[in-house]
Structure 1
Amino acid sequence: MADEFDVDGIDADAGETGLDMSAEPMPQVSILTQYVKDLSFENPNAPGSLQSTEQPRIEINVAVNAKRGGDNVYEVELKINARAMAGDSLAFSIDLLYAGLFGLANVPEEALEPFLIIEAPRIIFPFARRIIADSVRDGGFPPLMLDPIDFASLYMAQQQSGAGNQVGNA
């Protein structure tokens, strides 16, 4: 009777709870590590750009890429580019490629891509956001505080346009 035990009248194999403990194992996700792959900050018109009183126009682009890194290991890259223009002059430019390694086990195939393109970037985004803010501040400008990104909406829009992300093999 090694497989069954009774705790306060609840049979752990299924019994009264209706739980089937012999079903598929639960999905498991772990963040193995996070890291900066590439970071570039440019302030080409300093010190003049630092003395400007004009409010800069800021353009931000975000991209997500995911690829298999080994057995049950996936690398998710979050690429953020920001450009600040004061008039016709570049105030600053920052490019960050931030990545995370995720260990995934027992994740159904149909849930793999949505996790890697929606949930994984949502997990690592706050860390990338801080790096952007600190780098811009260290470059002499007020910190650039990026608004939260709705990765689910971006994914859905990309799926509807037919340009869905593919999870590649390394």
Structure 2
Amino acid sequence: MADNQQPQFALQRIYIKDASFEAPNAPQAFTKEWKPEIKLDLNSGARKLDDNHYEVFVKVTVTASNEGETAFLVELVQAGLFAMVNIPEAQIKPMLGAMCPNILFPYLRESIDSLVVKGGFPALMLAPINFDALFHQRMQQEAQAAQPATAEQETTH
């Protein structure tokens, strides 16, 4: 019976939840020298499905501009279904905010590259992202945001 109390973590499924590719200036975009400016917008999130399952997603928007015109725009939501059983509450948030996105990112990266290449553009391999650092940074920001409110309450009394 003690085995049933062991923490269990399992990736059950990886899937693309949403994908969009636009090349608004094709085919003219292919006639220009390729010196793109790449803008990347990335975020992640999670939602609890039931007592043991969470959906975690990483959403990215990549905009490539060339000579002041949008060459392509890719939006992708890479998601995963994760089972977490008997995980201590204090560990769930870091797992959802850092560990799971780290697992999903290589799949998102490959999907972005595939869409861009199939759109007729040179390969785009996104640089690795340190979700652990992003998670800790977000936790610090949340803690700092909570502190001024507490300080204000103390000074107004």
Provide TM-score, normalisation by structure 1.
0.80
2:64 maps to 1:93: no
Deviations 1:75-98 (A, max 9, x none): 001101100011220010000011
Question: Out of 73, 94, 101, which is 2:53 matched to?
Answer: 73
Deviations 1:62-84 (A, max 9, x none): 10010001121000011011000
- Output the amino acid matched with 2:40: I
Deviations 1:111-144 (A, max 9, x none): 0010011000111111111100000000000111
- Output the amino acid matched with 2:127: D
2:102 maps to 1:122: yes
2:9 maps to 1:29: yes
Q: Any idea what SS the aligned residue of 1:37 has?
A: strand
Query: Can you give the 5+ residue segments of structure 2 that lack an aligned partner in the other structure?
Result: 145-157
Q: Any idea what SS the aligned residue of 1:156 has?
A: helix
2:142 maps to 1:162: yes
Q: Distance in 2 between matches of 1:148 and 1:26?
A: 32
The alpha carbon displacement at 1:52 in A equals 1.4
Q: Any idea what SS the aligned residue of 1:161 has?
A: helix
2:57 maps to 1:42: no
- The total of aligned residue pairs comes to 144
The alpha carbon displacement at 1:162 in A equals 1.4
Q: Where does residue 146 of structure 1 map in the other structure?
A: 126
Runs of 4+ off more than 2 Å: 21-26
Mark the structure with the bigger radius of gyration: 1
- Output the amino acid matched with 2:110: R
RMSD of Structure 2 on Structure 1 (CA)? 1.9
Deviations 1:24-60 (A, max 9, x none): 9331111111111110000000011112104010011
**Identity %, equivalent residues:** 38
Question: Out of 59, 64, 69, which is 2:39 matched to?
Answer: 59
Q: Where does residue 151 of structure 2 map in the other structure?
A: none
Query: Can you give the 5+ residue segments of structure 1 that lack an aligned partner in the other structure?
Result: 1-20, 165-170
- Output the amino acid matched with 1:53: E
